[in-house]
């Protein structure tokens, strides 16, 4: 696959280099550019706000663990939004810096719960639609009071015995092995 991608990049880059009237008769420049693009393609799935081109320009080395962490965060937040039926304008990064700590805690909580069980937000959504659910938060409630979502999650766990059994089994497996 890498060779196919490399050939496609060379075919795309060559006319651009030729249009600049650069003398690259043996094609070394085009090949080097194509190889550099292949090395950088790991960054294509990352949000620009998180891993900007400035990091690369500054020479900051980004590890695979950082890339995996960023991808997990994006995946967890997207799953939360999808499963909870959040509006398309949901913002995980508040405009007021005074609210950043609370929203960072919510993001970390969501990521932690997603790592434990990727379908946990579907279960919460099902529970909160129950008219007898005590402590359930709507999307508007979560936006207005993100710091209260962890307490709502505790209410969810205490009232949903079926989910508690699944989560306990999952945690005991992690503790044992």
Question: In whole angstroms, what is the distance from residue 133 CA to residue 154 CA?
Answer: 12
Q: Using alpha carbons, select from 110, 124, 131 the residue that is nearest to residue 160.
A: 124
**Predicted local confidence at residue 81, as pLDDT:** 93
Domain ranges of the chain: 2-45, 64-176
Structure tokens at 156: 């969810």
Provide the Cα torsion 57, 59, 64, 67; round to 10°: -40
Q: b/e per residue, 75-99, with b = 16+ CB within 10 A?
A: ebbebbbebbebeeeeeeeeeeeee
pLDDT tens, residue by residue, 79-135 = 999 999 988 778 888 877 888 889 999 999 999 999 999 999 999 999 999 888 889
Q: What is the pTM of this model?
A: 0.60
pLDDT tens, residue by residue, 121-156 = 999 999 999 888 889 999 999 999 999 999 999 999
């Amino acid at each position: 696959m890498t060779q196919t991608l490399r050939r496609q990049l060379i075919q795309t880059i060559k006319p651009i280099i030729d249009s600049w009237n650069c003398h690259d008769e043996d094609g070394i420049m085009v090949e080097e550019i194509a190889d550099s693009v292949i090395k950088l393609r790991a960054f294509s799935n990352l949000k620009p706000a998180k891993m900007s081109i400035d990091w690369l320009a500054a020479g900051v080395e980004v590890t695979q663990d950082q890339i995996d962490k960023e991808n997990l965060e994006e995946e967890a937040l997207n799953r939360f939004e999808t499963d909870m039926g959040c509006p398309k304008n949901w913002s995980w990064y508040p405009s007021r810096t005074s609210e950043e700590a609370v929203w960072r805690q919510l993001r970390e909580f969501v990521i932690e719960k997603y790592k434990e069980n990727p379908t946990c937000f579907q279960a919460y959504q099902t529970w909160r639609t129950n008219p007898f659910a005590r402590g359930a938060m709507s999307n508007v409630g979560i936006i207005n009071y993100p710091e209260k979502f962890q307490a709502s999650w505790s209410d969810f766990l205490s009232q949903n015995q079926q989910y508690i059994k699944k989560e306990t089994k999952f945690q005991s497996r992690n503790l044992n092995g």
